[in-house]
Structure 1
C-alpha cells in the first residue's frame, strides 16, 4: 500500500464503520456525496447552502467534533463584559433538521484515491466532493518557551470556547495593579484586528475593576490592522494603561516562561500575572493530512475555492491561501457561498454564478465605540483580488461609532443564522 495519497492517523482506520459513519453511507446511497470537515463560519455555511439549494439531490455530511460551537469572533466582547458565554454558543440542530447529516467526530485522515475521510471512532465516510474548513492550528516553536502544553498557564484563546473562559477567569483573578501581557502573532493570522480589539476589551474590564493594572503587548509586526483607530481609542479611553512594543523595539524577540510567569522582550524580563500568547498560525491539521497544504496554508483557486492540489477538495476560511481576503468569519462565510454554488453545479449541472466576495471586520474599542474595515473582492486567475474597500476614520462622532457598533451586533445575529439556519 502506498502512503503518498492515502494518509491516516493511528490504528483502526480500516475497522468496521461506526454507527455514525454507517448512517452516512445509508443516507447518501445513490446520490452524489459532499463531506464537509469543520462546522464554523465556512463549513457550516457551505453544508447548509448545499443541502438547502440542492433540495435533496446531494447527500451532505458535516463532520464536527463539538456539539456546541462557540464563535471566536465576538469572543473578545465576552472578555470585556459585553457578552455572556452562552451568547457565543450555537448548536447544529437546525442544520440536522435542514437536511445535513451531522456527525460529531474527529476527521483524522483523508484518502484522496478512495475519496474517503477517516473518523477517529473508526470507519470512513465517502465523498465525491470534500470541503475542508478546519480553521487554524499553531506553528510549533513559534514562541520560545511556549507550546500547547502551556496553554492553561498562558492561554491563546484564539479558538472559541474553554480557552476564552480560561483567559477571562485569569483576567478576573489578576491582583490589584498587576500586569496583563500579550504576545501578538506575526502575519498572516486569524482576524487581523482581533488581538487589538482584545487589548481594548481587557483594558475596558481593567479600567472598571482594576484601574491601576497595566497591559503590555509584544508585537513582531511594525504595524497592525486599524492601528490608528485603536491607538486613538486607547489614548481616549485607557490613557497610560497600554504599552505596545512593536518590532522596532524588540517586540519580535520574545521568550516566555510559563512556570515562572515571565515575559522577556529583547532580553528584558518582566513578571506578569496573565500572559495571552497568540502564536504564529497555520491551516488546521486535517488540511495537511489531506496533502493540500504548501507551507503553512492550503493554496486554492479563486473562482471556486478548490484546492490547487486536488480538484475534488475545497478549502475555506482561515486555512486557505487565497489572496487578498483577511482570515475572518465574514470571509469564510462569503467563500462558503461561492464554493457551495460551484460544488452544487459540478454535481448536479445547476447554474454556477461568477464568484464575488466581501468582508467586513468590526471591532469594539469601548462602550458604543465601534470601528470597521472592509472590502469587496473578485476572482482572478491568480488569486482573490481586492476591488475596493473602506475603513472608519479617526475623529468620528460618538453617534457614528455607536451606529457602527449596533451594525456589528446585527451582523453577528445575521451570520450565525446564516451558518446554522436558526
Structure 2
C-alpha cells in the first residue's frame, strides 16, 4: 500500500476518534512525563494529550528546543534535502496541551516517581516514558572517542555533526579516500550507513569522480545488501569497496590526528572518515535502571512497558523489544501503542490489541529509491514480524522513482504526526 501524508495522518485521526478517553472529574489529573522529543517521545506526548482530551497532564522533557531528525539526514548529505527541513520545533505540541521543558533529564527516582532536570527542577510522575534515542559505546572503535568527533564525525545524532560531515566530503581533495567505520549490531536505522555511502558516492561522482570509498564493517551482512551493492555497481562503478569481517572489517583502528585508518594491520591515509560507533540505550535509561546487560531496555511486547518497572515505558531506539528495527517509523508506531496503554490505565479508556509496523526507505541515486518493511504483533517473548516486504533488484525506473516519492510523503506525514 502506498503511503502518503494524508494516509499517514488519516490513520492516526481515525484511531484518535475511536480511543478518546473519558474526562476525569473531581480529582487531580494524573501526570505523565516523557523524556526525549523525537519520533517516540513527541508522538507519545502528542497522542496522550490529544486523545485524553485534557484528562492527563503531559510534560515533555527535551534538551533541544529545535529537533533535527536523523532520518532523512542522509538526503541532506547527498544534496536532496535542505537542512532546515530536517528541523522541527515544539510550538504546536505546546498548543495541543503538552508542557514542553527544554532541559536535560539527569535523574530518575523510580520509587519516589520523580525526574530531576539539570536545571534543578523535579517533576513528579504517575507514568514515565523514556525515549532518549541512542548513546555510543565507549571503546567500540579503537582510537576513537567523542573528543575525536570534530575530526572524524559520527553524524549519527543529527545536527552540527551532519553539517560537518557534509562539509568534509565536499572539501575532499581530488582522488582522496572516504572511509566509513560501520557499527556492529544492533544499531539505529540498519540501512542508514549504506544509504549514507550512496549519498556520499553521489556527491563524489559529480565533484570528485576519482575519489574512493571504503567501508570497514564488522558484520557479515547488512540490511538491503543486495539492493545497495547492485545500486553501487550501476551508479558508482569502481568507487565503493565494502570490507567485511572475513577481510578485516572487524579489526579496525582509527588515528584521527594522522587521518589514518588501520584495517587488519594495513594503514590507509584518508581524507574523510565517518566513524559510526557501537551503540546503546540513551543514558537516562541506564540512569533510570531499566537497561540490562545487553545495554538496551527490555520491554513487554504488548505495550512497550519496561520489564523493570510497571510505571515506566521505553520507546524507540533504546528499547529491546524483538524484531523491529531501531527506526523513526518503529518509534512512532510504538509510541501510539504505549500512549493507548497508558491512557487506558490512567483514565479507564478502551484499549485494543497492539499492532506495530515499520518501513525504511533508502535513496541510492537520483530517483532510485528502495524500501524494506514489515508488520508486527506481540508474542509472549517479543514483538515478532508477521509479514514483510522488500524492494527487488532489477525493478524498473518508474517504480524506483515512485518509491522515492513515497518516502517524501512519509516524511511529511510522520513529522506532522510527531509535532502537530
Q: Which residue of 2 aligns with 1:30?
A: 28
Q: In structure 1, what is the equivalent of residue 253 of structure 2?
A: 255
Structure 2 CA distance for aligned equivalents of residues 168 and 409 of structure 1: 21
RMSD: 0.6
- Aligned mates of 1:46, 1:347 — CA distance in 2: 15
Alignment of 1:6-85 (within 5 A): 30-85=28-83
Partner of 1:229: 227
Matched, 1:376 2:375: yes
Tell me how far apart the structure 2 counterparts of residues 312 and 73 of structure 1 sit (CA, whole Å).
29
Q: 1:280-330 deviations in whole A, cap 9, x for unaligned?
A: 000000000000000210000011100000010000000000000000000
Match of 2:353 in 1: 354
Return the alpha-carbon distance in structure 1 between the equivalents of residues 88 and 385 of structure 2: 31
Q: 1:172 deviation in Å?
A: 1.2
Partner residue, 1:386: 385
- Please name the residue that 1:275 is paired with: 273
Q: Distance in 1 between matches of 2:146 and 2:383?
A: 33
Residue 335 of structure 2 is aligned to residue 341 of structure 1: no
The equivalent residue for 1:408 is 407
Q: 2:190 aligns with which of 189, 192, 198?
A: 192
Measured after TM superposition, the shift of residue 381 of structure 1 is 1.3
Correspondence for 2:396: 397
Give the distance between the partners of 1:401 and 1:247, measured in 2 at CA.
31
TM-score (norm 1): 0.93
Give me the whole-angstrom Cα distance separating, in 2, the residues matched to 1:414 and 1:342: 23
Q: What's the counterpart of residue 13 of structure 2? A: none
1:210 matched residue in structure 2: 208
* Per-residue deviation, residues 70-110 of structure 1 (Å, max 9, x unmatched): 10000000110001110100000000000000000000010
Give runs of ≥4 in structure 1 deviating > 4 Å: none
1:380 Cα offset (Å): 1.1
Any idea what SS the aligned residue of 2:273 has? strand
Give the counterpart of 1:161 among 159, 162, 165. Answer: 159
SS in 2 for 1:331: helix
Q: Distance in 2 between matches of 1:89 and 1:209?
A: 27
The equivalent position to 1:114 in structure 2, one of 89, 112, 115, is 112
Give the aligned length: 393
Matched residues in 1 for 2:407 and 2:198: separation? 16
CA distance in 1, matches of 2:412, 2:366: 19
The aligned residue for residue 3 of structure 2 is none
Alpha-carbon distance between aligned partners in 1 of 2:351 and 2:107, rounded to the nearest angstrom: 30
Q: What secondary structure is seen at the aligned counterpart in 2 of 1:350?
A: coil
Instruction: Give the gaps of 5 or more residues in structure 2.
Output: 1-26
Are 2:416 and 1:417 aligned? Answer: yes
For residues 241 and 384 of structure 2, what CA distance do their matches in structure 1 show?
A: 35
How many angstroms apart in 1 are the aligned matches of 2:84 and 2:136?
Answer: 26
**Structure 1 unaligned regions, length at least 5:** 1-28
Question: Counterpart of 2:370 in 1: which secondary structure?
Answer: strand
Aligned to 2:16: none
Structure 1 position 146, deviation (Å): 0.4
Match of 1:93 among 69, 79, 91: 91
Show CA shifts across 1:209-257 (max 9, x none). Answer: 1111110100000110000000000000000000110011010000000
Distance apart, 1:368 and its partner CA: 0.2
Match in the other structure for 1:219:
217
Partner of 1:16: none
**1:145 maps to which residue?**
143
- The residue that corresponds to 1:285 in the other structure is 283
Name the counterpart of 2:306. 307
DSSP 3-state at the match of 1:187: coil
Q: Offset at 1:123?
A: 2.4
Residue 19 of structure 1 is matched in structure 2 by none
